[in-house]
Structure 1
Amino acid sequence: MTKVMQGIRVLEVAQFTFVPAAGAILADWGADVIKIEHPVRGDTQRGFLNMGGVTLDPQRQTLFEHPNRGKRSVGVDITTPEGQEVLYELAKTADVFLTNYLPHQRQNFKFDVEHIKAVNPNIIYARGSAFGHKGPEAGVGGFDGTAFWSRSGVAISMTPEELPGPLGQGIPAFGDSIGGMFIAGGISAALLHRERTGESPVMDVSLLSSAIWASGAVIAQVAETGVLTRNQMPGTGGAARNPFQGNYTTSDGGTINMCTLSPTAHIKSLFEHIGVPEAAEDPRFSDARALFENAGAASDIMVKAFASKPFEYWRQHLKTYTGQWAPIQSFQDLLTDEQALANDMIIEVEAADGSDRPLKLVRGPVQFDSAPVETTRSPIASEHTEIVLMELGMEWDKIEEYKAKGAIA
């Protein structure tokens, strides 16, 4: 893949997934991403070895690999004066400073905007936060489960009214990964602005703003009409007005999602594909207006047809249908999805355990020149400290001095 960020250095002082995910995207694009980790503990997320009841191997920690592949790790204790000296030396060589530490931490440990800009006025300072960098909760921390899922209205909108309470977020780092892509995009724009004008802006993205943007269409609708639409309880059959929109259960319990929003040109094709071509000639269904007025009757026909054959049959048979549809898949199904694989959406990297069994990760959503991503595993904590500091021209005696004081590892 074309390394569009080749020659760009990113200094990342961040933990967990939200902001590090942006670093992973930039590393995929060719940037040299230097991840600062505590010399003893490393990134706190390295210790998350049980997620949703699934025990993770610390040498194959996929939750950490996802937002940290392709980086170099430098162990620095940023709470010490010596560690801050090292951080400043690194910042002098960087194009981007990337952080999700809280404002009081950035001030206490002297790596807030004014401190980093003092040593490198041309650096892009990029902040990720839970609720935004202004207002009464600017200093409040959070995770995607709080800021992206719960606070934003997403949890309520995704939950059918019939359920006794809101659904929980079933996908770890869901909002983090989405928001990380927004940060990477914002950094790209900021770098372009710096190249054109010489100005290096401070950039902010929050989990809350990420969720609000992702939900923007319905939020605008609510603001305009005052009506909040929520997810419906699962079932089989078409929508009340459009039977070509809905989930249909197959004979073996699979589900086909029909999503033909404008059925006019697809009525004949659909009824032929489900084995009832005569329905296309029925005046109740022969054009979109009639179809909508008789949605229930059409849905009943479709329910019966889909229930007559198994999931895999429909998955193959509907490939020639002219409208829009999709098989409802699990993440496990996705790992062998021919379209996902053809577009290099699943990548492999060597694992830290030295085995010949690679880790399967997901590439970022942007691809350049149709080429797959080439990346490496996430670094072991402090794996590249000496190499990176020597690249700065730091003498070995100085490195040993910092080590002796516990400022680096």
Structure 2
Amino acid sequence: MTKVMDGIRVLEVAQYTFVPAAGAILADWGADVIKIEHPVRGDTQRGFLNMGGVTLDPQRHTLFEHPNRGKRSVGIDITTPEGREVLLELAKQSDVFLTNYLPHQRKKFGFDVDDIKAVNPNIIYARGSAFGAKGPEAGVGGFDGTAFWSRSGIAMAMTPDELPGPLGQGIPAFGDSIGGMFIAGGISAALLHRERTGESPVMDVSLLSTAIWASGAMIAQVAETGVSSRNQMPGTGGASRNPFQGNYTTSDGGTINMCTLSPTAHIRSLFEHVGLPELADDPRFADAVSLFENAGACSDYLVKAFAGQTFDYWRQHLKSYTGQWAPIQTFQDLLSDEQALANDMIIEVAAADGSDKPLKLVRGPVQFNGEATVTTRSPIASEHTEIVLMEMGIDWDKIEEYKAKGAIA
């Protein structure tokens, strides 16, 4: 595997998913990511063992594995003077300092920007926050359910007008995982900038900015026109102007999403595939302008045609259709999706429980030279403390002294 971050050391002082997800991406790319955890309880997220009514095995903790695979864990109590001493020693020998602690916590425990830059001026200091590093709410914490989903406008945009209230997020760590990728990309750019100029910038990404960027096309439209749109209630049939765009229900209750935004070159292909080749010569549907003017009539034909066959039939039959479409799948479907598997989007790692059953995780979206990601499970809390400190040049007697004072585990 091409390890584009080989030789880069990342010191991660972060919890939950948003910022640790960035560390996971960098670890996937070959960086040595040292995760600092509390010596007794570890990352707080290790205790989140019930998600949406699903109970997780602490030895196969998928919510923790997703943002922490490939890292090494060092147990340090950063609230003690000795713990801060060890942390600063690690910072001296790292390329990136990665954190999502709030500003008052960073100042209180002595690892804010000035503290870390004082011992290593060349380090990239990367911060993840809920609402941004400036402004009146810079010190306010939050999760992706608040900053990414709710405050950003996404929840309202995804909710049809007919529903009595906004939809909940539904997917754990949704905005966190997207934002983590942004942080990893920003760190990559900062490292390149350091190599070219010698300057080591401080970098910020927030969950709110992540959401606003993801919704940028719509936000720009609203700013320009004052008009926004909401998601529509589910149903079967084409869009009001383009029948080649919409969700169509199959005979067994599945759904095929047609998304042929420019149908001109695909009119004959679709009608042939749905068993209505004669409609390609019908003047109502023979060209895009006529098709749009008669969208309702065309949609009625397509609704009936799609309802005549099963979901699996259409998934196979439409593969030779020239336009754009997709089966609407579940996450369970995705685990066996031939295209996802062919592109190594699902990876396997050995679990901490020592069983023969691997954990299935999701690869980060970037791939280098077409090579599959090679990574390892997430660390057990404090699993690598001694070996990492010895690598940093701290002798065994000092390590024992730190242990005796409860500074490390």
**TM-score (normalizing by structure 2):** 1.00
1:333 counterpart letter in structure 2? D
Match of 2:292, as an amino acid?
F
C-alpha distance in 1, partners of 2:395/2:301? 78
Q: 2:79 — aligned with what?
A: 79
> Match for residue 119 of structure 1?
119
Aligned residue for 1:259?
259
Q: Corresponding residue for 2:300?
A: 300
Alignment partner of 1:395 is 2:374: no
Structure 1: tracts of 5 or more residues without a match: none
Q: Give runs of aligned pairs for residues 228-267 of structure 1, distance below 5 A.
A: 228-267=228-267
Distance 2:157 2:393 in 1: 54
Identity of aligned residues (%): 87
Q: Distance in 1 between matches of 2:393 and 2:112?
A: 25
Instruction: Say which SS state the counterpart of residue 383 (structure 1) adopts.
Output: coil
Correspondence 1:227-376 to 2 at 5 A: 227-376=227-376
Task: Show CA shifts across 1:210-242 (max 9, x none).
Answer: 000000000000000101101000000000000
Structure 1 position 268, deviation (Å) = 0.3
One-letter amino acid of the counterpart of residue 397, structure 2: D
Unaligned runs of 5+ in 2: none
Q: In 2, Cα distance between the equivalents of 1:161 and 1:97?
A: 44
Paired residue for 1:2?
2
Distance in 1 of aligned mates of 2:108 and 2:39: 19
Deviations, residues 125-144 of structure 1 (Å, cap 9, x unaligned): 00000000000000000000
Q: Distance in 2 between matches of 1:229 and 1:399?
A: 60
Residue aligned with 1:126, SS:
strand
How far, CA to CA, are the matches of 2:392 and 2:362 in structure 1?
32
SS at match of 1:354: coil
RMSD of the alignment, in Å?
Answer: 0.3
Q: Which residue of 1 aligns with 2:204?
A: 204
Q: Distance in 2 between matches of 1:397 and 1:110?
A: 25
SS across alignment from 2:167: coil
Is residue 16 of structure 1 aligned with residue 16 of structure 2?
Answer: yes
Superposition deviation, residue 330 in structure 1:
0.2
Q: What letter is aligned with 1:261?
A: L
Q: How does 1:24-35 map to 2 (within 5 A)?
A: 24-35=24-35
> 1:222 corresponds to which residue?
222
Between the aligned partners of 1:163 and 1:282, the Cα distance in structure 2 is 39
- Matched residue SS, 1:318: helix
Q: Is 1:166 aligned with 2:173?
A: no
CA distance in 2, matches of 1:367, 1:101: 30
**Alpha-carbon separation, structure 1, partners of 2:73 and 2:167:** 37
Structure 1 stretches of 4+ moved >6 Å: none
Q: Which residue of 2 aligns with 1:103?
A: 103
Hey, what's the Cα distance between the residues in 2 that align with 1:90 and 1:351?
28
1:344-370 per-residue CA deviation (whole Å, 9 max, x = no partner) reads 000000000000000000000000000
SS in 1 for 2:180: helix
Task: Report the alpha carbon displacement of residue 4 of structure 1 after superposing the two structures with TM.
Answer: 0.1
Deviation digits for residues 305-325 of structure 1 (CA, Å, limit 9, x no counterpart): 000000000000000000000
Distance (whole Å) between structure 2 residues aligned to residue 274 and residue 393 of structure 1: 69
**What is the number of equivalent residue pairs in this alignment?**
409
Deviation sequence 1:137-176 (CA, Å, 0-9, x none): 0000000000000000000000001100000001000000
Distance 2:322 2:375 in 1: 38
- CA distance in 2 between partners of 1:162 and 1:226 (Å): 21
Q: CA deviation at 1:334?
A: 0.2
**What CA distance in whole angstroms lies between the structure 1 residues aligned with 2:151 and 2:23?**
25
* Distance in 1 of aligned mates of 2:112 and 2:394: 24
Equivalent in the alignment of 2:128: 128
> What code does the residue aligned with 2:301 have?
I
Shift of 1:379: 0.1
Q: CA deviation at 1:395?
A: 1.0
2: CA distance, partners of 1:393 / 1:271: 71
Which amino acid is the alignment partner of residue 39 of structure 2?
P
**What is the alpha-carbon distance in structure 2 between the residues aligned to residue 293 and residue 79 of structure 1?**
69
Cα distance in structure 2, aligned partners of 1:28 and 1:241: 44
Q: Report the counterpart of residue 44 of structure 1 in structure 2.
A: 44
In the alignment, residue 117 of structure 1 is paired with which amino acid?
A: K
CA offsets 1:268-308 (integer angstroms, 9 cap, x no match): 00000000000111100000000000000000000000000
Cα distance in 2 for partners of 1:13, 1:394 equals 20
- Per the TM alignment, residue 393 of structure 1 is displaced from its structure 2 partner at its CA by 1.2
Query: TM-score, with normalisation over the residues of structure 1?
Result: 1.00
Q: Which amino acid aligns with 2:223?
A: A
CA distance in 1 between partners of 2:285 and 2:139 (Å): 58
Looking at structure 2, the residues matched to 360 and 86 of structure 1 have their Cα atoms a distance apart, in angstroms, of: 34
Deviations 1:180-226, CA, capped at 9 Å, x for gaps: 00000000000000000000000000000000000000000000010
